[in-house]
Amino acid sequence: MKRLLARRLWLLPMALALALLFADGEAGKPRKFSSEQARRDEAMRLFDLAQAYGRKGMVKESADALEEVAVIADDNPDAQYHAGMAHLQAGNLADAKRRWVKCVALDPAHNT
């Protein structure tokens, strides 16, 4: 029983993060942060979560988390690029194109 519980404990932080991310239909809407550092910290936390999802083959969840990073860091071309790549892997071509267009609009020299 302990072994089964230990194997499933990794799900709890991910489930909590998703619940907070999509609570009350707020996903995709601009969020307010107490400081610039708080905004960057949240973007990095979500980026790390997306990477963990990707390592587990959970491409839709990874794309959702990277989309939130792109919303939070809307002035960062790297965030837009990574969200576009995640959307491509998840099969969301329209969302991938939208993020890449924004990436190039922010930095015309950004191509990889």
> pTM higher than 0.85 for the full model?
no
- For residue range 65-79, list pLDDT tens digits in order: 999 999 999 999 999
Q: Please say if the pLDDT value at position 84 is more than 80.
A: yes
Q: Look at residue 89 in the predicted model and tell me its pLDDT.
A: 96
Using a 10 angstrom Cβ sphere, with 0-12 exposed, 13-18 middle and 19 or more buried, the burial of residue 71 is: middle
Check whether 2 has a pLDDT greater than 70.
Answer: no
Q: pLDDT at position 71, please?
A: 96
What mean pLDDT comes out for the span 35-40? 94
